Structure 1
Amino acid sequence: MAEGDKVQIPMTKLGNQGLEVSKLGFGCMGLTGAYNSPLSDEDGISVINYAFNKGITFFDTADVYGPHSNEILLGKALKHLPREKIQIATKFGIQRLQFPHMEVNGSPEYVRSCCEASLKRLGVEYIDLYYQHRIDTKIPIEETIGELKKLVEEGKVKYIGLSEASPSTIRRAHAIHPITAVQMEWSLWTRDIEEEIIPLCRELGIGIVPYSPLGRGFFAGKGVLESLSANSSLAMHPRFQGDNLDRNKTIYSRIESLATKHQCSPAQLALAWVLKQGDDVVPIPGTTKIKNLDNNIGSLKVKLTEEDLKDISDAVPIEEVAGDRSYQNMDHLQWKFANTPPKN
């Protein structure tokens, strides 16, 4: 089950506005560094090409990745691929990131300038799915979405998304222009969106795009089977530090045992669990290695019953997960705090 060969990746509707994407997407962030050293352009492009040739058509990037170099890399790869068969998702809103501090901007002027710059870097005439990456809690969401709506009307953006948005922000945004997708962290060890966000998205017909579906690589063995590289930002992540990591290794062992039972890898089991959360769920794991990409694609072949899904969930009791889900000093940027002021 380790290989992705002969796996047909189905297309699925993301939200009810008409966007169709591959059931498994690809998160491009890691290709230009973040958790590891950046790949060369040649290697990064070959990973993107390989993913496309295997049936992945949904590629996720952002202006802040690099910054800018990730969109440029994806743009170079797109020159050799059929544009009409690819769905590009990119994001705006993080004006400055000096880890772990982040400056967010959702003003209409900033929205437009970011969109124009992303189009240029990607070398495309339109963005399939354009997300507000983080919510600007100083500006009414109606103003931000109002500008995005104009970009849709101008044909520069096809569909609108939100990332790390609160329930009230999602609802208010959706009232101005339909939201196609909400991107949130969702994995076996990060499940806080299940109570409010998931039911709200289903009520409104919004697709769900889980980022870090493998727990930032933890369920693929990062920090457990392979040590973190010296330049990895994960060294600062609470769940990968000291006693927390030691305690979390117990969780990995349980998933490893269940994976043996299902004749797949722990990463495949963890990703299959996310994939099976619904037809409206499209995870976007990233990797820099072809073998990991094949492994991820192989997760689509893992058969899980409702009982299996419960056993897997029960193997990762949320109260036993050690460490916060976000980096230190970045808690306030989570969806729970992402309300915006009322529109006058």
Structure 2
Amino acid sequence: MASDVGARPHLVVRPAPPAPPARLRRAGPVQRRPRPARGRPGHPPRRQSGQRPRRGAGLGRPGPAARRRTGPGRLRGDRARRHRAPLAAGAAVSVRREVRPDGVALLTLDRPERHNAIDLATAGQLTEAWRAFRFDDAVRAVVLTGAGERAFCTGIDRSAVVPQPASPYSLDDPLLGIGPKSADLWKPVIAAVGGMACGGAFYLLGEAEFVVASENATFFDPHVSYGMVSAFETVHMAQRMPFGEAARMALTGTAERLSARRAYEVGLVSELTPPGGATAAALRAAAVIASWPAEPVQGTVRALWAAREAARQHALALAPHLISLGNLPPAAQADLFEGRGRDYRVR
């Protein structure tokens, strides 16, 4: 039998290298010469040798105190601030926020000179506010209202310029993100309505848990009167009131307005107050809700909306196509708007 010993490589044993001589240490602490700070202009200097950096220092991250949790789901420090983008220089604040000690946030549309109509800046500030409330554990309920007594909100500001794609299959709606549920906020929202609430205001009312209104409030939908399809607004209102009432309000346009009393009778409004009292009543109700444990409250809100979410989402998905097909050209809409009548019936 052939042996394979000769096929194996020979093992060569080499002596280990000598150990390096031990370094001589001087007595006493080592004195290190500080290095000069380096770095490009506008950038933080490099850490000097021997310094231990603060955790997160110079990295755009919050330190330990800023990151401390006080409850589930909270974003701390700079991460929370990222959800509150700063306004552009010189931009007017048209949405005011106030977080009260009882856990209720008061959100106010503050354009009374424009009947609290929503321009593009206001739409962005609404979306920003809802997202900020999502990450603020101090906020457990929200009251939404409008400044002044003449109007809660009158929808999109007609002076706003909204660029649209050329394709009829694409529609950019600037109001799609102004509601709390569109921003994925599942904390209870109560709308306090005084004066007019019309058109695009229904995006907000349609995503509130319930509505408190003063006796001078009126509700109407002007779209068809101006040559436009009432699509998103009608979907929201059909979820909040009997079908016949939602249909009548959408189809009669500017000729009829729903009184606060009638809105209360058909279930759109849950509480009536004297003129000027809607916000105070809504704050009282919100304070009660905010006093309960937050997680069960938010879970209940989510369950309420889940009960009707499928039908609502299906209807909203059809809305852009109906608008693209049914809206008159802008010039024809402008003619109808200029020639609109001033008379209407309140029922």
Rg comparison, structure with higher value: 2
TM-score calculated relative to the size of structure 1 = 0.26
Larger % of helix: which? 1
TM-score calculated relative to the size of structure 2 = 0.26
